[in-house]
Amino acid sequence: MSAASLRIAAFVLLVAFVSAPQLFAFVFEPLTENGAPAIYNQGSLLSLTLAHLRTVFGAVVASTIVAVLLGIFVTRPAGMEFLPLSRSIVNIGQTFPPVAVLAVAVPIVGFGEAPTLIALFLYGLLPIFENTLSGLTQVPPLVLDAAKGMGMSPRQRLLGVELPLALPVILAGIRLSAIINLGTATIGSTVAAKGLGEVIIAGLQSNNVAFILQGGLVVALLAALLHDGLMTLERTIASRLGRSM
């Protein structure tokens, strides 16, 4: 079976499971005890999956905007002196565990999706910021000199040369941030955020291995499909840049 066929099969399996999980009850029944339900029955798996993805998407978009803009700023002559400070700021998300961020955020913004978004936003900054730095600083000086010789302004060189050439590296950082946040977002259910963490926590509370496995498998499949999709996008862009060079 080819890689493309595996991707399609995994996607179809995921959609089928979250849309009609009862069709897969026979798979999980051996994992239950004392007549416990084999399929999560305290909410819709489809709605929880969509809510999970919405939270992750929102956090990654916010992290991308802030990290890329900060990376651009500290690679300009006027902002280079702020590089150490910027690194300290984006490292906050990696220094403090997401659970600690949730504990601090809940008294400020309350329960629900907001504290989870804050935690994921902070946690996702570092890989995007560092990859933005790497991508922008690895642009060949000869290319920049040629662009300058053509009369391009600093803004034109940034938008027309530097960012396009750095895009595959930046996308790699976004991919890493998204994959990390997909798994980390499950803790949001501890502060009443909708997501697949509900399924896992319900399984832990009721000692139902089937629930835990269902939540974990959906998150794992989402992560694998997202990783593969973004990796394909990176390769496509890198290939096109290579041909245009």
d(CA 36, CA 39): 9
The pTM score is: 0.89
Over residues 217-229, the mean pLDDT reads: 93
- pLDDT band at residue 7, thresholds of 50, 70 and 90? confident
- Asked if the model's pLDDT at residue 1 lies above 70, the reply is no
With tokens 């938008």, the residue in question is 159
- Asked if the model's pLDDT at residue 52 lies above 60, the reply is yes
- pLDDT band at residue 225, thresholds of 50, 70 and 90? very high
Phi, psi of 91 (to 5 degrees): -75, -10
- Please calculate the CA angle 92-84-160 and round it to the nearest 5 degrees: 100
Q: Which residue has the higher pLDDT, 4 or 122?
A: 122
- pLDDT band at residue 237, thresholds of 50, 70 and 90? confident
The confidence score (pLDDT) of residue 242 equals 65
- pLDDT band at residue 245, thresholds of 50, 70 and 90? very low
What string of H, E and C letters represents the secondary structure of 101-142? HHHHHHHHHCCCHHHHHHHHHHHHHHHHHHHHHHHHHCCCHH
d(CA 117, CA 187): 11
DSSP letter, residue 161: I
Percent of residues, the chain, with pLDDT higher than 90? 60
Over residues 198-206, the mean pLDDT reads: 92
pLDDT in tens, 69-89: 999 999 998 888 999 989 988
Arithmetic mean of pLDDT over the chain: 90
Q: Which fold has domain 45-244?
A: MetI-like fold (1.10.3720)
d(CA 157, CA 154): 5
d(CA 177, CA 62): 11
- pLDDT band at residue 58, thresholds of 50, 70 and 90? very high
- Asked if the model's pLDDT at residue 4 lies above 80, the reply is no
For the chain, the residue count is: 245
pLDDT in tens, 151-176: 888 899 999 999 999 999 999 999 99
d(CA 99, CA 122): 12
- Asked if the model's pLDDT at residue 5 lies above 90, the reply is no
Over residues 217-227, the mean pLDDT reads: 94
pLDDT in tens, 109-145: 888 889 999 999 999 999 999 999 999 999 888 988 8
Over residues 17-21, the mean pLDDT reads: 93
d(CA 103, CA 136): 36
